[in-house]
A and B are shown apart, each in its own frame.
Chain A
């Protein structure tokens, strides 16, 4: 009985880490843009959806195999992200934060409309590159999809960390986030660095989207809920902290699955799937009230 509960628990943890990995990627995208442009990119989810449709179209209509389509989608998404910054965001960047936010909301609507117009609203099926195998690891049943998702998310996070930590471009990206005026004085082309940030965010979103579609099905609103979870992850970890986004994402993924785990016991049977989104919003609210800077953020000091 206890052993059965434990394997059940572990199963929920593993699948929680898998969905958490996806939240982490999208949260990381939000953090990168927030650090450089100073706003929450409300279009982040739709950008990911568009990327996923591109991958699907390459596979379904153009008979590409999965990984080449995956790679091509990353490249196209990166270019698209840079383009969005240059064409749509940069012209309003000097204005108030509200203007940029409104532009990102406009982007959300526009991209969503474009996806439906181009590929119709019909749900599609994006194959999983990891197959449908399940493995029995010490009694814990683990889906290949979950292992693959965790591995890809982790790999992307590590690559990105390496980029930020060990390359000249990464150093410049961080310098721009800390102090754009100073960065210009040492010769960094700040505007291009911001565009690069948007490119990286779009790329992260593309990975998140392609990992999401196999389990929830590809449709134009597929990332709406994921974006809320990513918000919760970023807020929990600290909206300016890349590590916070990753830890926050994994924590939210596991936490929500814990509630599913508990719901099999009669005392918690009221906790159904429908409560996951409100739960995420509750987490956002509580964090903002109790520790607005998040777990890894530093409190903002304002001199009066």
Chain B
């Protein structure tokens, strides 16, 4: 499989606080890769470094091309970032949120794509004119995912999608992510605090500790790793 995303010795900081020290990772085309770690390990910052919403150093390449500049440039290059805590525009309608997802696109297929996305979330068609802020937490997370799909992303970044959602909703969310991956070959990099969910959803995973990659392997290997089990799976 071709390498889609490559991070080489990436560091990032918020003002004086260094959040990432040295992160190198690879995501190949068509993979679902998880990033695990405790609070403050740098999971969210890793995603933010990729989408350019934090100042960073080191090399980040998407499909062999350097990702430079801010999030506008990353979005244009095909990175769709679903941030932590339901990234929707609460005052705008469901349909408007979806249209915004396609903001960087110049082609005429946007209307058709709303239909395509709605195959995964049929309720979005019926409730297209509902304000996003009045949706339930689970629906908002689905809408954030739907909006990301509208950009026809080459790479989907998911930040803690399970946060604050009921177990049933979480399962449904990851079922859809899996379908997207299997049916459409969507490449996903997912950050999760819940290691069990993340390892089940992914084929490979990285474990971060204080801004560095501490462990890497297939999700099956990591599930059986004693340290991972004790530290992140809790048995």
A residues contacting B by CB (< 8 A) are 168, 171-172, 174-175, 177-179, 181-189
Contacts and interface: CB of A to CB of B under 8 A. Distances in A.
Contact of B104 (A171, A174, A178, A187): A187
B29 to A, nearest CB: 22
25 contacts: A171-B96, A171-B99, A171-B100, A172-B103, A174-B96, A175-B100, A177-B91, A178-B89, A178-B90, A179-B87, A179-B90, A181-B53, A182-B87, A182-B89, A183-B100, A184-B53, A184-B72, A185-B83, A185-B87, A186-B75, A186-B151, A187-B75, A188-B72, A188-B100, A188-B103
B51 interface: yes
A182 B83 contact: yes
Nearest to B75: A187
A179 B92 CA distance: 10
A198 B206 CA distance: 46
A186 B92 CA distance: 14
B71 interface: yes
Contacts of A168: 99, 103
B92 A174 contact: yes
Contact of A178 (B76, B91, B99, B147): B91
Nearest to A174: B92
Contact of B92 (A175, A184, A189): A175
Interface of B: 51, 53, 70-72, 75-76, 81, 83, 87-92, 96, 99-101, 103-104, 147, 151
- If over half of A's interface residues share one DSSP class (helix, strand or loop), that class is named, otherwise mixed; here it is helix
A174 B96 CA distance: 10
A186 B72 CA distance: 7
Contacts of B91: 174, 177-178
B71 A178 contact: no
A186 B83 contact: no
Given A178-B89, A178-B90, A186 B147 contact: yes
A208 to B, nearest CB: 26
B99 A185 contact: no
Contacts of B53: 181, 184-185
B70 A184 contact: yes
A186 B104 contact: yes
B70 A186 contact: no
B76 A187 contact: yes
A179 B99 CA distance: 15
Nearest to B76: A187
A175 B92 CA distance: 8
Nearest to A182: B87
B131 to A, nearest CB: 10
Contacts of A175: 89, 92, 96, 100
A185 B89 contact: no
- Residue of B70, B87, B89, B96 with highest tally of chain A CB at under 10 A: B89
Nearest to B87: A182
Given A177-B91, A186-B103, 20 more contacts: A168-B99, A171-B92, A171-B96, A172-B100, A172-B103, A174-B91, A174-B92, A175-B89, A175-B92, A179-B89, A181-B53, A182-B87, A182-B89, A184-B53, A185-B87, A186-B75, A186-B100, A187-B76, A188-B72, A188-B103
A119 to B, nearest CB: 42
Given A172-B100, A175-B100, A185 B92 contact: no
A187 B71 contact: yes
A185 B76 contact: no
Contacts of B75: 184-187
Contacts of B103: 168, 172, 186-188
A178 B70 contact: no
Contacts of A179: 87, 89-90
